[in-house]
Amino acid sequence: MNQDWNERFLNDFEALSANGATSGGGVERQAASGGDLKNRQWFEELLKELGATVTYDEIGNQFGLFEFDPALPFVGLGSHLDSQPLAGRYDGAYGVLAGAHAAARLAERINSTGEKPLRNLVVINWFNEEGSRFAPSMMGSSVFSGKLELQTALQSTDLAGTTVKEAIAQAAWGPVKTAPEISEYAEIHVEQGKELEKSGNQIGLVTATWGARKFQLTVKGEQGHTGSTLMADRKDALFGASLVIASVRRLTDNYQPGELQASVLQLTLEPNSPVTIAREVKFNVDLRSPSSEVLESAQQELDSIILAAEDESKTSILKEQTHHWDLNPYPRDGVELSRQVVEELGISHQEIFTVAGHDSTNMKDLVSTVMLFVPSKDGISHNEAEYTSPEDCLAGVKVFTEVAAKLIFS
Amino acid sequence: MNQDWNERFLNDFEALSANGATSGGGVERQAASGGDLKNRQWFEELLKELGATVTYDEIGNQFGLFEFDPALPFVGLGSHLDSQPLAGRYDGAYGVLAGAHAAARLAERINSTGEKPLRNLVVINWFNEEGSRFAPSMMGSSVFSGKLELQTALQSTDLAGTTVKEAIAQAAWGPVKTAPEISEYAEIHVEQGKELEKSGNQIGLVTATWGARKFQLTVKGEQGHTGSTLMADRKDALFGASLVIASVRRLTDNYQPGELQASVLQLTLEPNSPVTIAREVKFNVDLRSPSSEVLESAQQELDSIILAAEDESKTSILKEQTHHWDLNPYPRDGVELSRQVVEELGISHQEIFTVAGHDSTNMKDLVSTVMLFVPSKDGISHNEAEYTSPEDCLAGVKVFTEVAAKLIFS
């Protein structure tokens, strides 16, 4: 029976990966875009086959309800099916499918043994975890957990000016119902780092999220003619931006490897004409560290970087902080519960931090939460080459099923 | 009578500037976009009022024909009505309107004196001189002068993927006829520099165009997760690009002021997600100088800049040369003809170089050509604050009319 489920998991994962597949072996399923829409439809059908009832909430979170007793609250098993552009197959998608299979295995167990669970199960595909098309990331779980206003989220626009509200209306997901009441939450995800690969352990017990400081910078210069504006008269916003981008990256050389990640990733410029000096450039700055002291010091250095860039480029640079959190621990009871499971199953494991944010980052502030990792080959993620072996995928589903079992039976 | 024409010019220029007007006092009339379409329609009506017949050619050049004798070839008086995004009112538009008024004044003179001209006149609004929406710039005059294939130009796309062919088909300009045969050409334009303002002279006699080397650079990195990809593992294309952009600008510090202009202006990045390291960045590099030696040396330094950026960012950078010309003189006979006119009229003048390209840069390789400048306040151009005083505008029209008179009567 387990053998069948394992085979079926790998087959389902192949089928899932065909939705929004790219020629490079990855997927492109940005939130509410073509690949995501197709995949959500596919997943709705899978959930129904597995015995779930499917509903949505107003921000587009997709729920697969396995209701054993209408009087009981739900244990949530979730992650996200949306992806970055030209992304890998595993990020988010692995965890959602693992949740669906864990729930179906447990429903089968309940059906055959007659054992009475103390919780129902709901498989959750959170809307727009990636945030590449619509900011902010982790949108669906942020609205669910009350950290983001529904109306604010619905008004977020992509670079083409389409709002989340319009994108969701077009998708016409239904039925839209009040989200189920969730009493515990569990998520499994690919590590997107190299720690498990290095140690050879198959499961990571996530104990905390790295701290982060995120900013939106706007460089204001002056539009002018490329050829005829003298160098001394220029207020070139793209030059100002390039000075900051180069310095932000070099900033990490001042720290030990693994102490600070600093990145600039998204940038827009006006007017973006080949013969006109840019009047305005906007870009994000993303600082991450397990240490609040490192983040504070990096943020101060960022201010110095900005002053120097303003001075050299004769521009003015506005800095707006968009996100701010320090090292953020996961609930200890969740870590201990999953440690008990991996010890019982005899699966190699270790405690681990996550640098990336996950929907569980929101859920853990609401309810008792478990977060698990499986290994990522070479730590590659947000890239078509992302890979986790079938053996590691299946070990993860096995552990995740038993974690869910502990959550509904005790 | 002259008083009437002067008043009418300033009124017509106000009316023209209302087409595609921006709230900041400038215009936005990118080629075949809303403001340009409206303005071309307005200009067609003005040309007809002034007595011209209006035709178009296949690339969308707009011709206002003042045909005094069907057997005679045409003197072309041209510039462009399209603009950069958020641009000034004068760039191009001033010269096209000056051409229309010069032709109308001369038609009136011929009508009242019965004098027989040796040439007809055609006022030309060249299509897409700016090149901000569709590359390359000077598109209409490049096709007319045989430097660019019509089919190549028609296939050029904007950032939204629309081709020139589609944009022109939508505009439905007509009638489309074979372009008139042009035997001489004259153009007047705002200087877009500070030389005339500094010297206090009202007219610049353009003797040469600065040399230029233009490149398209592509930085190839590797897409990855913002948070979890270790700094040492990153191949960040935006970091590589920022190193080049900063260094290209700093390169100009190695030269005397006015010896080298070096710019990066247009940039696109993939995937442009706030949480994913850029896999590819494309941008232009624009080097300009009156000295071929300076251009050669700057180009060599660019190669060193690229090598250093590749090394530091672990990316690979491809460089493609898109334009290449050395200091490019205007025909001496044209300069002498216009010198004679300004001396006769007693208007202050000087010889001058142009850093910017103009449609006359194409035409001068085809026929005898005159190029004139009027002053630009603070040298500001490609900016809503672009300004030339009414007195300077009217002096320019006066000179331009007499240049055209010399071209058709002798």
Q: What is this structure's pTM?
A: 0.86
Q: Which of residues 192-231 of B touch A (CB under 8 A)?
A: 192-194, 210, 212, 222-231
Q: Which of B80, B89, B88 shows the shortest CA–CA distance to B17?
A: B89
Tens digits of per-residue pLDDT, B219-259?
999 999 988 899 999 999 999 999 999 999 999 999 999 89
Please report residues of B whose CB lies closer than 8 A to that of A193.
228, 230
Q: Spell out the residues 6+ positions from residue B120 whose beta carbon is closer than 8 angstroms to its own.
A: B65, B66, B67, B68, B69, B72, B73, B74, B75, B180, B408
Hey, is B399 helix, strand or coil? helix
CA distance B90 to chain A (A): 13
Looking at chain B, which residue has its C-alpha nearest residue A195?
Answer: B228
- Segment 252-271 of chain B within 8 Å of chain A by CB: 252, 257-258, 260-271
Shortest CA gap A364–chain B (Å): 20
Q: Is the peptide bond before B257 cis (omega within 30 degrees of 0)?
A: no
d(CA B369, CA A222): 34
Residue percentage of chain A with pLDDT more than 70: 99
Tell me which chain A residue has its CA closest to the CA of residue B252. A231
Query: What's the pLDDT at B323?
Result: 86
Q: Residue A242 contacts by C-beta under 8 Å, 6 or more apart in sequence?
A: B241, B242, B243, B245, B246, B249, B264
A62: pLDDT strictly greater than 80: yes
> What is the ipTM for the molecules in this complex?
0.87
Mutate to test the interface with A, among B242, B247, B305 (most CBs of A within 10 A): B242
List the single residue in B193, B245, B273 with the smallest CB-CB distance to A242.
Answer: B245
Of residues A232, A265, A272, nearest to B226 (C-beta): A265
What local confidence, expressed as pLDDT, does residue B226 receive? 87
Taking residue A406's Cβ as centre, other Cβ atoms within 10 Å add up to: 17
Residue B356 at interface with chain A, using a CB cutoff of 8 Å: yes
- Binned at pLDDT 50, 70 and 90, residue A1 comes out as very low
CATH superfamily of A2-210+328-409: Zn peptidases (3.40.630.10)
CA A350, distance to chain mean position in Å, is: 22
pLDDT at position B1 over 50: no
Token pair for A204 = 């990571």
Report the chain B residue with the minimal C-alpha distance to residue A129: B275
Q: pLDDT by residue (tens digit) across B112-138?
A: 999 999 999 999 999 999 999 998 999
Dihedrals φ, ψ of B9, to 5°?
-60, -50
Answer whether residue B145 shows pLDDT above 50: yes
Tokens of B347: 């208007």
CB contact (8 A) between residue B355 and residue A278: no
Domain residue ranges in chain B: 2-210+328-409, 211-325
Among the partner-chain residues A224, A270, A381, the one whose CB lies closest to the CB of B225 is A381
Read off the pLDDT of residues A250-271 as tens digits, 9 standing for 90 and up.
999 999 998 999 999 999 999 9
Of A226, A241, A267, the CB nearest to B286: A226
Which positions in chain A touch B383 (Cβ < 8 Å)?
222-225, 279
> Chain A: nearest CA to B108, how far in angstroms?
37
Residues in contact with A23: Cβ distance below 8 Å, sequence separation at least 6, in sequence order: none
Query: What is the average pLDDT across A38-48?
Result: 98
Average pLDDT of every residue of chain A: 96
User: What is the H or E stretch that residue B40 is in?
Assistant: helix B34-49
Q: Which residue does chain B place closest to A138, by CA atoms?
A: B275
Q: Which of A194, A197, A243, A247 is nearest to A355 (CA)?
A: A194
Query: Under an 8 A CB cutoff, do A356 and B246 touch?
Result: no
Residue B346 half-sphere exposure toward CB, CA atoms < 13 A: 0
CB pairs under 8 A between A and B: 250
Whether B265 sits inside 8 A of A257 (CB atoms) is no
Residue B279 phi, psi dihedral angles, 5° rounding:
-90, -25
Q: Is A272 on the interface with B (CB under 8 A)?
A: yes
Q: What is the pLDDT of residues B327-353, one digit of tens each?
A: 999 999 999 999 999 999 999 999 999
Q: Give, as one character, the DSSP assignment of residue A232.
A: G
The model's pLDDT over B199-218, given as tens digits with 9 standing for 90+, comes to: 999 999 999 999 999 999 99
Which runs of consecutive H residues, i.e. helices, occur in B114-158? 139-144, 150-155
Q: Judge whether A334 and A371 are in contact, CB under 8 Å.
A: yes
* Share above pLDDT 90 across residues of chain A, in percent, rounded to a whole number: 94
Instruction: Provide, rounded to the nearest whole percent, the portion of chain B with pLDDT above 90.
Output: 94
* Residue B401 banded pLDDT, cuts 50, 70, 90: very high
pLDDT band at B159 (very low <50, low <70, confident <90, very high): confident
The alpha carbon of residue B215 is apart from the nearest alpha carbon of chain A, in Å, by: 11
pLDDT band for position A2 (50/70/90)?
low
Chain A residues lying within 8 Å of B254, measured CB to CB:
none
Average pLDDT over residues A151-160: 94
- Strand bridging mode A74-79 / A120-125: parallel
Contact criterion met (CB < 8 Å) for B238 and A382: no
**Would the CB atoms of B274 and A286 count as touching at under 8 Å?**
yes
CA Rg, chain B, in Å?
A: 23
Residue B2 has pLDDT above 70, yes or no: no
Given 3-state DSSP classes, what are the helix, strand and coil percentages for chain B, each rounded to the nearest 5? 40, 25, 35
Q: Does A348 touch chain B (CB under 8 A)?
A: no
Does B153 lie at the interface with A, CB-CB under 8 angstroms?
no
Identical fold between B2-210+328-409 and B211-325: no
Beta bridge partners, A369, equal A185
Six-digit token string for B19: 């087409």
pLDDT per position as a tens digit, A216-260? 999 999 999 988 899 999 999 999 999 999 999 999 999 999 899
Residues of B in contact with A135 (CB under 8 A): 274
B270 with B279: CB under 8 angstroms? yes
Instruction: Give residue for tokens 């030209």.
Output: A86
CB atoms within 10 A of CB B110: 18
| Contact present, B165 and B154 (Cβ < 8 Å) | yes
A273 in contact with chain B, both atoms CB, cutoff 8 A: yes
| Sequence-distant (≥ 6) Cβ neighbours of residue B263 within 8 angstroms | A226, A236, A277, B248, B249, B285, B286
Average pLDDT over residues B105-113: 96
Dihedral sign, Cα of residue A237, residue A243, residue A246, residue A247:
negative
Calpha distance B252→B285 (Å, rounded) = 13
The answer to whether A119 and A75 are in contact (CB under 8 A) is yes
**Sequence-ordered alpha helix ranges (H) in A229-347:** 237-251, 292-313, 332-345
On whether the A211-325 domain is CATH 3.30.70.360, my answer is yes
The arithmetic mean of pLDDT across residues A288-301, rounded, is 96
Please indicate whether, in this complex, the C-beta atoms of B239 and A249 are within 8 angstroms of each other.
Answer: yes
B406's enclosing H/E stretch is: helix B390-409
Chosen for mutation from A129, A217, A228 (greatest number of chain B CBs closer than 10 Å) is A228
Mutate to test the interface with A, among B265, B268, B387 (most CBs of A within 10 A): B265
- Using DSSP bridges, classify how beta strands B267-270 and B280-289 pair: parallel, antiparallel or unpaired: antiparallel
Q: Do B241 and A242 touch (CB under 8 A)?
A: yes
